[in-house]
Structure 1
Amino acid sequence: MASIAPVTRDDYDDWLMLWNAYLVFYETTLDAETSSVTFQRLTDPEPPIHGAIARDDEGAAVGIVHWLTHPATWAKTDYCYLEDLYVRSDQRGTGIGKALIEHVRGWAERNGSAKVYWLTAESNTTARALYDRVSTRSGMIHYQIGL
């Protein structure tokens, strides 16, 4: 089974490989500076965004997850937003995605969050099958305005 640990500065090369694969999966690109800032945020001593990396028994990086918390109007405590979750394609279906979600859920519970929530693409059927097993769909529809 994979081990999961917080992302550290020593994880940069492995994190970047997984991060770039995640961006390819979602058919998007980011400039190198944005990726660099993201990694700096993840490894800050007081991280505004938290991250964990999953490694297989041989130590190879196989997945990443990023999350953050924010104040809520419908709860007295924060909500935890799971922003990014990626598992290498050859590792999907092995329990790593579920373990990464559980890692965030446990962190959020220990830190007093009222809930963990996330978004995914409607077309992401493989991940949605997992999400339907480990969570409840909210029925909400996501809208956004780019600035």
Structure 2
Amino acid sequence: MKHIIKKASLEDLDQTAELFNLYRIFYRQESDLEKGKAFLKERFLNSESDIFLAMADGKAVGFVQLYKLFHYTKLQKQWLLSDLFVHPDFRGQGLSVALIDRSKQWCEETGACGLMLETEKTNDIGNSLYPRCGFEYDGLHNYYHWWK
């Protein structure tokens, strides 16, 4: 199947929100299309993330969302590959790799030093995909979070 990767804009909000909702369900969150749509709309309006869509026959079938960070040792901008999702009906066609490749190209275009990501230990697909795409596992750091 022929696909293209395009940078998403506010015009793509509805299709992006549908995929984002499926992505959140994949991570055991309750379906909430409207709340997810509002979240994405805010990211678009405030230029707080960059989203690329995998398009097949004019329909969005996958996405990657990147957030800008800064690396303290490299003293450069880097991108957090926060969200990556391909609709189950379109998996196995290289779309995840294409979205990651476009993210790497975005690093070049924006003068960033690279990409970082984290995924659940139980995400067998991601934990197999990322090393194949040139990501190195960082066993030196423990990642923690704090929620208010």
**TM-score past 0.5 threshold:** yes
- Counterpart CA distance in 1 for 2:76 and 2:109 is 12
- Counterpart CA distance in 2 for 1:123 and 1:87 is 17
- Counterpart CA distance in 2 for 1:35 and 1:122 is 28
**TM-fit CA distance, 1:37:** 3.1
SS of the aligned residue for 1:51 comes to strand
Q: What pairs with 1:99-114 in structure 2 (closer than 5 Å)?
A: 99-114=98-113
Q: CA offsets, 1:20-73, max 9 Å, x none? A: 10010000147644641322313x3x61211111111x1121101110112221
For 1:48, the equivalent position in structure 2 comes to: 48
- The one-letter code matched in structure 2 to 1:144 is H
**TM-fit CA distance, 1:141:** 3.0
- Counterpart CA distance in 2 for 1:34 and 1:98 is 25
SS of the aligned residue for 1:71 comes to strand
For 2:142, the equivalent position in structure 1 comes to: 141
Give the alignment's Cα RMSD to 1 decimal. 1.8
SS of the aligned residue for 1:99 comes to helix
Structure 1 residues 34 and 90 mapped into 2: Cα distance closer, same or farther (>3 Å)? closer
Do 2:17 and 2:40's aligned partners in 1 also have CA atoms closer than 8 Å? no
Unmatched segments (≥5 aa) in structure 2: none
- The one-letter code matched in structure 2 to 1:49 is S
Residue identity (%): 26
SS of the aligned residue for 1:127 comes to helix
State the number of aligned residues.
144
SS of the aligned residue for 1:48 comes to coil
- Counterpart CA distance in 2 for 1:69 and 1:137 is 21
User: Mean Cα displacement is larger for which, 1-10 or 17-26?
Assistant: 1-10
SS of the aligned residue for 1:78 comes to strand
Q: What pairs with 1:11-90 in structure 2 (closer than 5 Å)?
A: 11-29=12-30, 32-33=34-35, 35-42=37-44, 44=45, 47-56=47-56, 58-90=57-89
**TM-fit CA distance, 1:74:** 0.9
- Counterpart CA distance in 2 for 1:30 and 1:70 is 28
- The one-letter code matched in structure 2 to 1:11 is D
